[in-house]
Amino acid sequence: MKLELTESLDKVYKAIDGRKSNDGDDVAKLKTTVNDMQRRLNGGVASTSSVAPSVEGEELARLDREQAEIKTATEKRLSALEDVVLALQRKCEEAEENVEKWKSEALRPGNKRGSIAVDPTPSSHARFRMEVEALQTLQISEMNARKESEEEVERLKESLAKLDMEKRARVRGTNLKSKFNNAAVREKDPENDVGPSARKCKDKVVSGSASKSVDRKAFLRANRCDLRGKNKELVMGICEKRGLHIQLLSRRRRL
């Protein structure tokens, strides 16, 4: 708009310069036209200057509104974050208190398990209970296996002890029987108080003539070696086959 007015003024000035010889009326008309154009030019500039501040004011108002909305949303988020932080801080404090209680209870002399009550965390209570049940199941199975192994060991020990006792009794009885037989032979026949090899040879010689001899003592000496390695059942069976009467002696009478 300003450019148009400037171009119009230039045309007017050119016309004025070209028409210096015109009448005074034409000059007056041109002056009037120039004044009108100047007034229009001044009015256009004033209008543009008045419109620009109004647009800037609206933009500033819009920015202020957006800033206020952002500030309100930020304050809401900060308040929510503060609530979350406070809740986490309370949980941390409770956990620290529980840890301190357990620590003091563990370090206390004469500690007894389960004498302190601590509130568990509600969220982890179910998981903790499952872990406890699993550990109890494992402990019970281990205890049962250990008990079975201990019982098996005890049974083996008892069986070994019985075998050892039977072995000792068998060896002890055999040695005692041989000693009694040797003592009886020495008492009845002092001439036979010689070594085992000589006595065995002599018994073999006597056993060859036992069927011919009627002497009971000689027959007993001859068959003592054969009967020495046999137990009670075999001896009783032989006696029954031959029709011999067996007389059991008491312990006092044997000694």
pLDDT digits (tens, 9 = 90+) for 128-183: 778 888 888 888 888 888 888 888 888 888 888 888 888 776 655 455 566 666 66
Chain center to CA of 33: 105
How far apart (Å, rounded) are the C-alpha atoms in residues 175 and 199? 17
Q: What local confidence, expressed as pLDDT, does residue 209 receive?
A: 44
Question: Residue 189: which of 218, 225, 229, 226 has the closest Cα?
Answer: 218
Domain hosting 215: range is: 151-254
Q: What local confidence, expressed as pLDDT, does residue 213 receive?
A: 45
Q: Which token pair is 88?
A: 């986490």
Average pLDDT over residues 5-23: 58
Query: How many alpha carbons fall within 13 Å on the CB side of residue 170?
Result: 9
Same domain for 160 and 247: yes
Model confidence at 16: pLDDT above 80: no
Q: Where residue 211 falls among pLDDT bands split at 50, 70, 90?
A: very low
Angle formed by the axes of helices 216-228 and 125-188, nearest 10° = 160
Specify the DSSP class assigned to residue 144. H
* This prediction's pTM: 0.23
Q: Where residue 212 falls among pLDDT bands split at 50, 70, 90?
A: very low
Q: What local confidence, expressed as pLDDT, does residue 153 receive?
A: 87
Residue 122: inside a domain: no
Residue 244: C-alpha distances to residues 33, 237, 241, 247 (Å): 182, 10, 8, 10
Residue 239: C-alpha distances to residues 26, 232, 234 (Å): 187, 11, 9
Q: Which token pair is 180?
A: 């009694």
Tens of pLDDT, residues 86-126: 888 888 888 888 888 888 877 777 655 555 555 555 556 67
Q: Where residue 192 falls among pLDDT bands split at 50, 70, 90?
A: very low
The SS3 of residue 185 is: helix
How far apart (Å, rounded) are the C-alpha atoms in residues 202 and 198? 6
Q: What local confidence, expressed as pLDDT, does residue 252 receive?
A: 47
Residue 139: inside a domain: no
Residue 228: inside a domain: yes
Residue 121: inside a domain: no
Count: domains in the chain: 2
Residue 185: inside a domain: yes
Residue 247: inside a domain: yes
